[in-house]
Amino acid sequence: MTRLATPHPDDRADVAADVLLEVERLRVALGDVRPVDGIDLTLRTGETFALLGESGCGKSMTALALMRLLPDGGRITGGSVRFHGEELLSLSEASMRSVRGGRVGMIFQEPSTSLNPVMTVSAQIGEVLAVHRGLRGAAARGECRRLLEAVGIPDPAERLDAYPFQLSGGMKQRVMIAMALAGEPELLIADEPTTALDVTIQAQVLALLAELQAGRGMGMLLITHDLGVVARMAHRVAVMYAGELVECGRRADFFANPLHPYSRKLFAALPVDSLRGSDLETLRGSVPRLDRHFRGCRFVERCPQAFARCQQEAPGWHRVDDQQVRCHLYEGPREPTPHESQQAATNAARVGGSDRMLLQVEQLRVHFPIRKGLLKRTVGHVRAVDGVDLTLASGRTLALVGESGCGKTTVGKALLRLVEPTGGSVRFDGVALVELSPAQMKAQRRGLQMVFQDPFASLNPRMHVGQIIEEGMAALGVGADGAGRRQAIAALLERVGLSADMAQRYPHAFSGGQRQRVAIARALAVSPKLLVCDEPTSALDVSVQAQILNLLRELQRELGLAYLFITHNLAVVDYLADDVAVMYLGRIVESGPADAVLGRTAHPYTRALLDAVPRIEAPPSDGGSIGGELPSPIRPPAGCHFHPRCPYAEPRCRTTYPDVRELAPGHRVRCHFPLG
């Protein structure tokens, strides 16, 4: 198989010709499961090679195999891994330790579980420095500080003795990068390095990785399911499905003309503003079990273009110009026409909802007290929500957007009185919720329900799905008896795309997308008028995300539901929302119709969020990007809270918080100098 390399179009780094890593026919087994089943790839010095695919396709297991860090029961059953020509699979474990963390570094997907919670930042980085560079004591501490400064951590000297729980998600990810760079690696393996990060922090981390790669000439194996990240970072792309590669080529060729039906489906599932009002394309089914013998193509059960041969014979590699694809469609007369870009011919108008105002929030405040001392006296407050105004009509979707820590989730929980508001008013369907007693509030909960970000954490693992859904129905008096409720549960499961017999399964038996469907079914079981959706697609692959978004739109059309959609994903907002409210440090800084807020952006923070989104059409602009992280809500900055990060700040911004300006009907902004 011929492999090609080309510089990224932005020319941020020249790709050298010498081969850094060669992988041939790599196979991994976990008992009877074969998560990696014959992988070939070549990576050159200074190049970023992106490995793209859904969860469960074998991407992360490939990375762990390269580092020889397989979980218990895992073994490499065949193949070759050569680093600078040296066979890594034949090295002793002692010899491999000198490679791992030194010449080859790795950034793991979840820093919260990868960092040792009982060791300080300096101690964890110091371990790498001692093993791979022989640095200890003052020399090691000085190098730790230099590394933290290099990865953009503010006040690095103060962070040396911090523990992971004292750091934000973005800072923990930067510490992981500093640890990976401490051994001065020639190859960096980055496994979903930005999956859990806000768009602004993600943009900073990606820019940092690109800058460090260019300065050090590192090779990078980037593992991701995010097409926007691939477009921003990669020189070459390989698409992985069910343990094997199905497409490989240069980044520009891949984005201009994806060849494999699976690759095309991934692009078609992306939410974009041109598809407002129409359903996203989805991949039926899921990645097949990898403990089975595959006679034909592994994608055949989900492929819309499959024919008889696909069932009987595994496809080989075929070259189309400078790309390669594993698909029978590219043989002889069955070769398809070149890929056509997605059209917006079905771009119907979105459901406009009604004019009846369902939710009215005025000056909502949630301040959490800070207590210290033996008597636990209140010495301050965390101003999580600090005067929020929102309105939402029946049948419409209001997107609440902002970085982690800005107070979005607290707003959602305060509406349902899952946390008690400190002040302000919340009127739902004409009822003042804040003034209700607990018993009165219980009666209102049928109308408001919440879909949480992590369905696995919000579903009781000791109850099967039928019991989970029925629990809420019984508590709120929905359904006359158990038999009636069970019949309703069966219909609900079918309604959200699951089968009725799944009611007897436990949450661990479902995929991430299926668990989110269960969470939606539980919320719908009591016939609500408003769903508060807290990042319901943030942890999902793009294909599963498309299924959930289609389901939410369909339910809204049929049931007239209103959604408060809490997210930091601007692509989802662009596709789904009727109205948008942008939140920063407990306050709304811009709000209005989606077309106005996203198309005629007035606040610099909103512009920065939009500029930070990795897009597949072109490399992102850095013109409006912001640095740093969200300030503490304990001590918010004086004046406009955004001024320390704002590229347009004037002296007035540092002293006076801006009043609300109405730029057009419904389009409001809090900024002294709105963008033109």
Q: How far is CA 49 from the centre of its chain?
A: 20
Task: Look at the block and give the residue holding tokens 């709000």.
Answer: 591
pLDDT higher at 622 or 648: 648
pLDDT higher at 281 or 220: 220
Q: Give the pLDDT of residue 341.
A: 37
Q: Closest Cα partner for 634 from 369, 349, 438?
A: 369
Q: Which residues contact 622 (CB under 8 A, 6 or more apart)?
A: 207, 611
Q: β-pairing, 219-224 with 48-52?
A: parallel
pLDDT digits (tens, 9 = 90+) for 349-377: 333 455 579 999 999 999 999 888 888 88
d(Cα 460, Cα 482) in Å, to the nearest integer? 20
Domain coordinates in residue numbering, the chain: 115-184, 270-334, 357-447+528-670, 460-526
Could you tell me the two tokens for 401? 């957007």
The SS3 call for residue 401 is strand
pLDDT digits (tens, 9 = 90+) for 455-511: 777 889 999 999 999 998 888 888 767 788 888 999 889 888 888 889 999 988 887
pLDDT digits (tens, 9 = 90+) for 406-418: 899 999 999 999 9
Could you tell me the two tokens for 89? 């699979």
Q: Closest Cα partner for 628 from 145, 12, 174?
A: 174
**pTM for the structure as a whole:** 0.74
The mean per-residue pLDDT over the stretch 595-604 comes to 94
Q: Which fold has domain 357-447+528-670?
A: Rossmann fold (3.40.50)
- Cα-based torsion angle of the residue sequence 508, 514, 518, 520 in order, rounded to the nearest 10 degrees: 140
d(Cα 301, Cα 322) in Å, to the nearest integer? 28
Mean pLDDT of the residues in the chain: 86
The mean per-residue pLDDT over the stretch 297-310 comes to 92
Q: Give the pLDDT of residue 263.
A: 94
| CA diameter of the chain | 82
